[in-house]
Amino acid sequence: MPTTDPSTSWLRGTLPLVLAAVLAESDHHGYALVQRLGELGFGKVRGGALYPVLGRMEQDGLVTARWEAGEGGPGRKVYRLTGAGRLRLDEERARWRAFSAAMDGLLEQSEEAEQRAGQAREER
């Protein structure tokens, strides 16, 4: 059985939505995005996961990127959410809320069923 943390695959599947939500706050370069995601409780996102998603978002017109001079170092690419990206964020936000509500309902039902089954076992 794999020992991979399931939340890693959850984040991988939701990373475009997560990045759009963070970029809706303000423009960020890659390292700042990684830091912000950590602050928000998403753990450490590696560049190997981050940059391909940002590249696809840029190709799809959801973000733009510009080069800025680095502070005492090399330049860095700063990402900005576009109007199309904001529209997609609004759509995905609604879809996420519906999915989350369905998942919450399922988990509550399964927890209640487990509790009933446990009580039935105890009564025997």
pLDDT tens for each residue of 5-52: 546 778 888 999 999 999 999 999 999 999 999 999 998 899 999 999
DSSP code, position 75:
-
48 sits in which H/E element: helix 47-59
Per the confidence metrics, is the pTM higher than 0.85?
no
CA distance 42 to 5: 12
Residue range 59-75, pLDDT digits in tens? 999 999 999 987 777 88
Cβ pair 106, 78 in contact under 8 A: no
Q: Token pair 């423009």 is at which residue? A: 27
Q: Which residues of 16-26 are buried (b: 16+ CB within 10 A; e: fewer)?
A: bbbbbbbbeee
Which amino acid makes up residue 101? A
